[in-house]
Each structure stands twice: as C-alpha cells, then as structure tokens.
Amino acid sequence: MTESIMPTYNRIPVSMVRGEGSYLYDEDGKAYLDALTGLAVVGLGHAHPGVAAAIAEQAATLMHTSNLYRIPLQERLADRLCEISGMENVFFGNSGAEANEAALKIARIYGHSKNIATPDVIVMDMSFHGRTMATLTATGNRKVHAGFEPLLSGFVRAPFNDIESVKNIGANNKNVVAVFVEPILGESGVHIPADNYLNELRAVCDQHGWLLMLDEVQTGNGRTGKFFAYQHAGILPDVVTTAKGLANGVPIGACLASGEAAKMLVAGTHGSTFGGNFLSCAAAHAVLDAIENDGLMDRATELGDRMVARFEDALKGNNRIDDIRNKGLMVAVQLTEPCTQLIGEAVDAGLLINVTSDTIIRMLPPLTMSDDEADTIVDKVVALINSLG
C-alpha cells in the first residue's frame, strides 16, 4: 500500500473494482456478499440503476453552482425531507460530521437567544458523532478524544439509556440547552435503548426548554424500518441530522430543524460550499424514490426480523452468544469473547461484516437484498462463529 496516504485507517488488503446489488467484486473477480454497505451508506445496494441514471443525467446537465444561487433540486429535496420527518427546514452539508456541526451550532445560538452565555449540550457515553473538533468532543469514546485535547467546552456527559442521569443534570445545571443523542448507538455496537427512552427525553427537554437533537446519520433513511428511528417512538425532535444512506454513496449531510431551532441559523451564520449541490440532491431524490416506491422500509423490518430469527435458531444454546439484537437492518450478534479476527475470516469466505467494541458482530446490509441473500449472510456468520477455536 502506498505511503502517500496518511495512515489513518487499518485497511483490509482487498480492492473492490465493481459492485452490483448486494455483491462487490475484487480485482480477481472474487465475489463478496456485502453485509456492511460501506458503513450503512449504500442502502439500496451497489450500482443501483435508478441512482446511477439520476447521477449520470445530472452530471451531464449541471453539478454545482454554489449556494449563491437558487438550487431547485435542493429546494424540492428539503420539501420532501420535511414532509417525511415533520421538521420545518433543512441545512445541507456533505457528511455526518457536518450535519452534526450544524446541530451543535443551532444549540449554541439557541442558548445565546435565551441569554445563556456558556451553553452546555448533554451528550452520551459510547456515542459516536464524527471526527471534527466539535463532533469528536460530543463523541463518548476516549479513543476518539485522545491526543486532540483541548476538547471544546460546553458538553456534559451522561450514560446512554439512563433517563435519571439526564434529569439529575437538569436539576443541577442551568446552562444546559440541548440533549444530543443517537436513537440507537451505531458505531459502538447497535445498542438499543428502552422503548420509552426517547419519549422520556422528549418530556425532560420540554420541561426545561431544551432542544432534543437526534443524530440519525446512521439510523436514518429507512434502515430501522421507519425513515427515521424516532418515528418508532411517535415523538418529534427539535433537530435531526442524517447523512450516510441519504444518497447511496454520494456525499451529503442534512440537518433538519423545527420550531425555535428552525429559526436559529440565518444568513451569514453558517454555510457550505458544496452542500446541497445538484449532483448530491439528484442522487438523494433517486434514493427517496426507491425507498418509497419499492417499500424498502417494510423490507428493512422484514429482513431484519428474518435474520434475527434465523440467528436465534442456529445459535440456540451456543455459549459463545451473549446477545442477538436488531432494529430493522441494524443487526448485531454480541459474543462473550473478542472476535475481531472474524472480519478477515469473513473476507476469505466472501462476506463483508464489521466487529465493533471487540465482541459485537455488526451487520448493516442493503435494504434491497433478497430473502436468500439475508439467509446467506446469517449462514456464513454462523459458520464463522462455529469455527472459532
């Protein structure tokens, strides 16, 4: 591997040259069933015909003018996302971290609008929000902070899925202006909170006048069986961010807001050169079309439940299994022992999976896969687990 790339990633020594649906193909023509989709990005599968056609047509028409001018495709995308989410307006950037930066800036302006000079945002242990300075500070993982101190001020930490600790902070800290949380912890291993967690957070936020800000960079875009994971709880946040699955691989990020939060970022307070350009918006429209027309949210629910039932059946009584869990197509099998070696063994077996927090096999397969492909992922993962020495 070349030394002219900064060594920020431990790369698996395989080079894909082509993708189709649920499969990737390397330079030797070997096929890999993709149960990770580039970290929940390629939710419609590789080389999706509708997305590919939309991108090709837009690239041959107009890609970028900047936000100095109107961008009708961006306006229509914002309308669609507001309709889907119940939010009022959208800021477009190019990544999850950028969407989250917008959310955190909204929280700070909101605080200042209430005459709080040093506003605090409550963030959760084990969370992941990105790698920029504000989003790495918001992240609840020491490894992400290490070496980058001083971290930003204005963050208060609470354990995930612990409403009492949030209430305690509220009783003691008058500078809090917002709670920022993933509805399901993604990077740290598909941790699903109690059913009423978001409802209780909503109530605490209402009681104190705080913004409820949800990071749906990974959980959004149909992956959990609803467009946004908060829609399972029947609540509305004040701010919600998304990115990964929104344009099936074209960089895009979106920060959606409603109520007071929607009034915070005005001309001159925030911006992005590339954000919401014609190309990324054309891709996102094609993704929304497919999610709606092909019933992909219902498929995410069906396929996720099918995978978990098959895992439970095949792994019943296996003492290496700690937990099997999912919400739609965020699927995890947690072992009682470290198993990072399975990533490489899976590659040998023609399967792409991820292992997080050392013991959690994480799967984020395409919403467009067939029942057979879902079964094959499960069977291959079971075989890998059973092969552990």
Ligand X SMILES: *Cc1c(COP(=O)(O)O)cnc(C)c1O
Q: In the complex with ligand X, which residue's Cβ is closer, 44 or 229?
A: 229
Q: Tell the smallest beta-carbon distance from residue 325 to ligand X (Å).
A: 17
- How far apart, in Å, are the Cα atoms of 294 and each of 198, 288, 367? 29, 10, 10
Residue nearest to ligand X (CB): 96
Query: CB under 8 Å, gap of 24 or more: what pairs does 52-57 form?
Result: 53/286, 54/282, 54/283, 54/285, 54/286, 55/250, 55/279, 55/282, 55/283, 55/286, 57/282
Smallest CA-to-CA distance from 102 within 124, 84, 87 is with 87
Q: In the complex with ligand X, which residue's Cβ is closer, 121 or 384?
A: 121
Q: In the complex with ligand X, which residue's Cβ is closer, 243 or 329?
A: 243
Q: In the complex with ligand X, which residue's Cβ is closer, 356 or 378?
A: 356
H/E stretch holding 356 reads strand 354-356
- Beta bridge pairs of residue 202: none
Residue ranges that bind ligand X, judged by CB under 6 A: 95-97, 100, 128-130, 182, 186-187, 215, 217-218, 243-244
Q: Tell the smallest beta-carbon distance from residue 129 to ligand X (Å).
A: 5
Q: Tell the smallest beta-carbon distance from residue 139 to ligand X (Å).
A: 8
Q: In the complex with ligand X, which residue's Cβ is closer, 23 or 128?
A: 128
Q: In the complex with ligand X, which residue's Cβ is closer, 95 or 231?
A: 95
Q: What is the 3-state secondary structure (H, E, C) of 215-283?
A: ECCCCCCCCCCCCCHHHHCCCCCCEEEECHHHCCCCCCEEEEECHHHHHCCCCCCCCCCCCCCHHHHHH
Q: Tell the smallest beta-carbon distance from residue 141 to ligand X (Å).
A: 12
Half-sphere exposure of 101 (CA within 13 A, CB side): 18
Question: Is 107:164 a contact under the CB 8 Å cutoff?
Answer: no
Q: Tell the smallest beta-carbon distance from residue 185 to ligand X (Å).
A: 8
Q: Tell the smallest beta-carbon distance from residue 135 to ligand X (Å).
A: 7
Q: Tell the smallest beta-carbon distance from residue 178 to ligand X (Å).
A: 16
Q: In the complex with ligand X, which residue's Cβ is closer, 93 or 111?
A: 93
Q: Return the SS3 of 189.
A: coil
Q: Tell the smallest beta-carbon distance from residue 345 to ligand X (Å).
A: 25
H/E stretch holding 31 reads strand 31-34
Q: Tell the smallest beta-carbon distance from residue 97 to ligand X (Å).
A: 3
- CA separation for the pair 378, 311 (Å, rounded): 6
- CA separation for the pair 348, 344 (Å, rounded): 6
| Residue 68: alpha-carbon gap to chain centroid | 29
Q: In the complex with ligand X, which residue's Cβ is closer, 231 or 378?
A: 231
Handedness of CA 222, 301, 215, 115 (dihedral sign): positive
Q: In the complex with ligand X, which residue's Cβ is closer, 244 or 299?
A: 244
Q: Tell the smallest beta-carbon distance from residue 250 to ligand X (Å).
A: 12
Q: In the complex with ligand X, which residue's Cβ is closer, 217 or 361?
A: 217
Question: Is 34:365 a contact under the CB 8 Å cutoff?
Answer: yes
Q: What is the 3-state secondary structure (H, E, C) of 121-148?
A: EEEECCCCCCCCHHHHHHCCCHHHHCCC
Both tokens of 260, joined, read 């007071």
